[in-house]
Amino acid sequence: MERIVINKPEITKKYKKQKASSSLQRKEGLQGYLFIAPWIIGFLFFMAGPLLFSLYGSFTNFNITSKMDFIGLDNFKKMFTNDPIIWLSLKNTLYYVVISVPLTTAGAVVLAVLLNQGIKGMRVFRTIFYLPAVLSGVGVYLLWMQLLSPSSGLVNTLLGFVGIDGPAWLTDPSWTKNALIFMKMWSVGGGMLLYLASLQGVSQSLYEAAEIDGATSFRKFFHITLPMITPVIFFDLVTSTIGAFQIFQEAYVMSESGDGGPANSLVFFNLHMWNKAFEVFDMGYAMAMSWVLFIIILVLTVFNLKIAPRWVHYEGEDRK
C-alpha cells in the first residue's frame, strides 16, 4: 500500500532508492533466470519426464515391456522386509564410500601439490599421473583382473619385491572391495586435475608473505594452500561421495558373471538394482530402489552443505 508522503526529502530519497533497487533487483533476477535457462529447458525436456516416470514407476510393477500396474507401497515394503541382499548391498556400498572417498580426495590434493612445483619435467609427470583417468572401458577392468591375479599378477609380484604376501584380491571376499579401492587409487590423477587448476588461484603474494615470516612448507600447505582451495575440496568431496554411492560398472565386469561374487562381497546397491531391473525385469522395484538411494545421498549432501560454511572459505564471497 503506497503511502503518499508530502515534502519529506529524505524519505522521498529513500523511497526512490528502494523503488530503484527493487526494479534493479527484478532486472537482476530476470538476467539470472536467463542465464540458467538452458539448464531449465534441458531439465524439463530430457530429465523431468523420465524422473517423474520413474517416481511413478516405483509404485508399480513396471517390467519395461508389458505391465505397469499400480501396487502402492509394495515395492518399498518388499525392500525393507523381504529382500535379503539389499542390506548387504548397502553395507558394501557404504564401505566403499567411507574408505575410497577420503583416500582419493586426500591423494588428489597431495598429488596436485606435488605436481605444482616449478621443477623441470612437470609436464611429463602430470601426464603420466593423469593417464589412468583417461583409460576407460571394459578393457581396463579386464586388465586389472589380470593384474590382480594372486601369484602371477603384477600387483602381487611388486608387493612380493617388498616382502608382502599379496592376498587373493578378487577371490577372497574380504579383499574384493579393497581391490576396487586400490584400482580407484590408481586413477587418482583424474581428481588431481581439479586441484591443479584451483592451486593456480592461490595468490603468490600469500606465500611470499608467509615465507618472510619464516613459515615452513608444511605450515604453508596447511595454513594457506588448504584453506584457499576448500571450495574445490568441498566440490570434490560432494561429487566423489555421490559417485561412490553409485559404483556399479567395476563390480559388474570384475565379479564372476556380474553377480557380485564371491560371496556377494561385490554386490553394491547399484549392482543389485541392475540385476533386479535387467535380469528379473522388475524395473518398478529397481526404480523404487533408486529413489531410496536418492534420499540417502540427498540427506548426506544436505548435511555436507550445511556444515560447509564452517570450513569452506570463499574468497569471492557470495554476492548479496
Partner 1 sequence: MKTVRKTLVSLLILAISFSLILAGCSSKESGGSKSSGTKDGEKVVIDFWTFWGSETRRPIIEKIIDDFNKSQDKIEVKHTYLPWGDVWTKNLASIAAGNPADLIINDINAVGHRAQNNQNTNLAKYIEQDPEVKDRFYPELYNASLYEGDPYALPFNTDTRLMFWNKDMFEEAGLDPNTPPKTWAELEEMGKKLDVKKGDKYERIGYLPNQGIGADVWMINADGKGYWDFDAKKAIINDESNVEALTWMKNYYDYYGDKTINSFKAEFGEQTADPFVAGKLAITTDNANFFTKIRDYGDGMNFGVAPLPAMEEGNGNSSWGGGFVAEIPKGAKHPDEAWEFLKYLTDVQAQEYWAVKNFDIVANKEAAEKAAGSAEFSEEGKMVYSEATENMKQTLLTPTPIEAPDYINLIQPEIESVLLGKKSPKEGLDAAQKAVEELVKSNKK
Partner 2 sequence: MSAVVQTKENYFKSANFKKKTGQAIVLIVLILGSLLILSPIWWMIATSLKDMKEIMTYPPTFIPKEWHWENYLITLQKGPFLQYTLNTLFITVFVVIGNVVANSFIAYGFAKIHFKGRNVLFACVLATMMIPGFVTLVPQYVIYAKLGWLNTYLPLILPAFFGSAFNIFLLRQFFLTIPNELIEAAKIDGANHLYIWWKIFIPLAKPAIATVAIFSFNGAWNDFLGPLLYINDESLYTLQLGLQIFKGQNDTQWNFLMAGSLMVLLPVITLFFFFQRYFIEGMNLTAGSKG
Give the residue, chosen from 11, 12, 16, 49, that forms a contact with partner 2 under the rule CB under 8 A.
49
**100 or 275, CB closer to partner 2?**
275
E strand or H helix that includes residue 123: helix 122-134
Query: What is the DSSP code (8-state) at residue 43?
Result: I
Binding mask 228-257 for partner 1 (x = CB under 8 A): ----------------------------x-
C-alpha distances out from residue 185 to 4, 16, 85, 205, 233, Å = 69, 60, 28, 33, 17
For 26, half-sphere exposure in the C-beta direction (CA atoms, 13 angstrom radius) is 5
- Interaction between residue 31 and partner 1 (CB under 8 A): no
- Interaction between residue 95 and partner 1 (CB under 8 A): no
Q: In sequence order, what are the residues at sequence separation of 6 or more whose Cβ sits closer than 8 angstroms to the Cβ of residue 190?
A: 108, 130, 132, 133
Task: Examine residue 262 and say whether the peptide bond preceding it is cis (omega within 30 degrees of 0).
Answer: yes
Do the beta carbons of residue 93 and residue 300 sit within 8 Å?
no
Least Å from the CB of residue 166 to partner 1: 10
Give the residue, chosen from 52, 106, 197, 298, that forms a contact with partner 1 under the rule CB under 8 A.
52
Q: Give the one entry of partner 1, partner 2, none that residue 150 binds, where binding means its C-beta sits below a cut-off of 5 to 8 angstroms depending on kind.
A: partner 1
**Binding to partner 1 (CB under 8 A): which residues in 254-293?**
256, 258-264, 275-276, 278-281
Q: Count the site residues for partner 2 by CB under 8 A.
A: 105
Residues facing 60 on adjacent strands = 70
Q: Is the dihedral of CA 137, 140, 142, 144 positive or negative?
A: negative
Least Å from the CB of residue 37 to partner 2: 8
**146 or 174, CB closer to partner 2?**
146
**190 or 258, CB closer to partner 1?**
258
- Interaction between residue 222 and partner 2 (CB under 8 A): no
Give the residue, chosen from 14, 39, 87, 160, that forms a contact with partner 2 under the rule CB under 8 A.
39
Q: Give the one entry of partner 1, partner 2, none that residue 72 binds, where binding means its C-beta sits below a cut-off of 5 to 8 angstroms depending on kind.
A: none
**Binding to partner 2 (CB under 8 A): which residues in 260-279?**
270, 273-274, 277
Provide Rg for the chain, Cα atoms.
Answer: 26
Q: Give the one entry of partner 2, partner 1, none that residue 36 binds, where binding means its C-beta sits below a cut-off of 5 to 8 angstroms depending on kind.
A: partner 2
If you write DSSP's letter for every residue of 210-243 in order, what string do you get?
Answer: HHHTT--HHHHIIIIIHHHTHHHHHHHHHHHHHH
Q: Give the one entry of partner 2, partner 1, none that residue 232 binds, where binding means its C-beta sits below a cut-off of 5 to 8 angstroms depending on kind.
A: partner 2
273 vs 279: CA distance, rounded Å: 10
Question: Which of 249, 269, 278, 270 shows the shortest CA–CA distance to 62?
Answer: 278
- Interaction between residue 87 and partner 2 (CB under 8 A): no
Q: Give the one entry of partner 1, partner 2, none that residue 11 binds, where binding means its C-beta sits below a cut-off of 5 to 8 angstroms depending on kind.
A: none
- Interaction between residue 33 and partner 2 (CB under 8 A): yes
